[in-house]
Amino acid sequence: MSDLHRLTIHEAHALLKEKKISSVELTRATLKYLESIDGKIRACMRITGGHALESAAIADKAIAEGRCSPLTGVPAIIKDNMCTRGITTTCSSKMLENFVPPYNAHVIEKLNSVNAVMVGKANMDEFAMGSSTENSAFFTTHNPWNPDCVPGGSSGGSAAAVAADACIYALGSDTGGSIRQPAGFCGVVGLKPTYGRVSRYGLVAFASSLDQIGPLAKDVTDAALVMNVISGHDRRDSTTVQMEVPDYTRALKKDIKGLRVGVPREYLVEGMQPGVSRAIEAAIEQLEKLGAKVDRDVSLPNTKYGLAAYYILAPSEASANLARYDGVKYGYSYRETTNVWEAMQKTRQLGFGPEVKRRIMLGTYALSSGYYDAYYLKAQKVRTLIKRDFDRAFETCDVLVTPTSPTVAFKIGEKADDPVQMYLSDVCTLPINIAGVPAISIPAGFADGLPVGLQFIGKHFSEETLLRAAYAYEQATPWHTQKPALA
């Protein structure tokens, strides 16, 4: 079999379990294909071939001993902001270009515990700040559906690799849409779990009250399988909850009869691309056909404040988190001076790229004396309003459905010089992080030849409901089976 890299997790698992293929074969095939196309899509900061084949051999041994769980021996790509012991973790930043973590992130430990295989570290917007992967300090990733377009961001490398079948699944992180927006742009499934469902230990911090790790996958079943492994309490991240992790695959039922689906009217925003509107409208009709009770008149009235509140909260937290990059403990260090302050300022000037600096500046301003109440405190209060909107909507709805993004993937360079236009591409995803609720983006058709993402939003810890709705829709539509024609 030469097309092993095209398998889903559940397909690969079935073959591994029946010993029809080995993990080494699967990993070799995946690496071969990844290496052959990565020159074109540039999804990876680093391909970890030697490490992967070692892990695959260990996985084969585990399988021979009867230990074969769904991720065992299955190749994944990991966003390069999750610490991997002994393997460079760059955050696509010059600041961390040569940083080799001395420990693994919690999610990496979890993957290792079931003998998963990591074939690469994915390119991203520097420190996860961006919506296009153009902010990587090293190179831009290309959308497999059209190489002139961005893959979205910040988990653009992860999404492009999954869409191109250059791995079986990937992990990303989502602070304002960074899993869901690239999943939508690349036509794959992306889940942002409830805040506190997955440990952030070893995830390089961007905005700690918003960051969450989640899967990018070829279908909803795979997303559930990854969630089964990465979710759960971790004493090293005190914001993780002490709730049992269900078997998420039990939620995968085609029946959504009676499911109360709300369509928040504020998300059908002005400036939405007509092709996206049409696809979302068709998806809503499909949900009705499947028996869902659709309420088209749900309102989340404070949505209009989401973007502004987010761009105070996230940069403020970032400015504090990124204070650690001082050229002393690790990372880039400017050495042409003996003056301590000059060294620190030069280190940060030369180590960070423009978007990271912009957000540090914005956050520093919002937290500075005299402006704290007007910006940061005000945004925290608006956060209460946005959260209440969701609480109220979930009194009458089981899930909300929206577009993942107002447009399909845009051209590389199109928004690179206009931060505000770039920020607008996350207008449908960032209120979800502000409220801490979970959401999933799944493929819902095409507009102008590019994938459209459909977003389901649920209340805190309702991932099972999200997966059920997403699965029912996926199984009734052909979108997840369509693949980009990579020449």
Residues 228-257 that bind another protein (CB under 8 A): 235, 238-239, 241
* Contact call for residue 2 and another protein (CB under 8 A): no
If you ran DSSP here, which 8-state letter would residue 409 be given?
Answer: P
Relative to beta strand 293-298, strand 260-264 is parallel
Structure-token pair, residue 370: 């005299």
Is 231 catalytic? The answer is no
Q: Which is nearer to another protein, 139 or 372 (CB)?
A: 372
* Contact call for residue 384 and another protein (CB under 8 A): yes
Burial bucket for residue 146 (CB in 10 Å: 0-12, 13-18, 19+): middle
Q: How far is the CB of 110 from another protein (least distance, A)?
A: 19
Helix 220-230 × helix 9-17 angle, to 10°:
70
- Per the CB < 8 A criterion, the answer to whether 137 and 170 are in contact is no
Is 173 catalytic? The answer is no
* Contact call for residue 138 and another protein (CB under 8 A): no
List the interface residues with another protein, window 46-85 (CB under 8 A): none
C-beta atoms surrounding 22 within 10 Å: 18
Residues 402, 407, 408, 414, Cα dihedral to 10°: -150
Q: How far is the CB of 206 from another protein (least distance, A)?
A: 16
List the interface residues with another protein, window 420-459 (CB under 8 A): 420, 434-437
Q: Which is nearer to another protein, 286 or 333 (CB)?
A: 333
Relative to beta strand 75-79, strand 169-174 is parallel
Residue 315 host element (H or E): helix 306-321
Site string for another protein, 86-105 (x = CB under 8 A): ------------xxx-xx--
* Contact call for residue 348 and another protein (CB under 8 A): yes
Q: How far is the CB of 280 from another protein (least distance, A)?
A: 25
Q: Which is nearer to another protein, 375 or 473 (CB)?
A: 375
Identified binder of another protein from the candidate list 285, 361, 372, 413, rule CB under 8 A: 361
Q: Which is nearer to another protein, 103 or 446 (CB)?
A: 103
Residues 385, 388, 390, 391, Cα dihedral to 10°: 170
Identified binder of another protein from the candidate list 2, 18, 244, 341, rule CB under 8 A: 341
* Contact call for residue 394 and another protein (CB under 8 A): no
Residue 277 host element (H or E): helix 274-289
List the interface residues with another protein, window 263-292 (CB under 8 A): none
C-beta atoms surrounding 368 within 10 Å: 12
- Per the CB < 8 A criterion, the answer to whether 151 and 143 are in contact is yes
The C-alpha atoms of residue 292 and residue 249 are separated, in whole angstroms, by 20
- Residue from 178, 199, 231, 316 carrying the catalytic annotation: 178
Is 238 catalytic? The answer is no
Q: How far is the CB of 412 from another protein (least distance, A)?
A: 20
Catalytic residues: 79, 154, 178
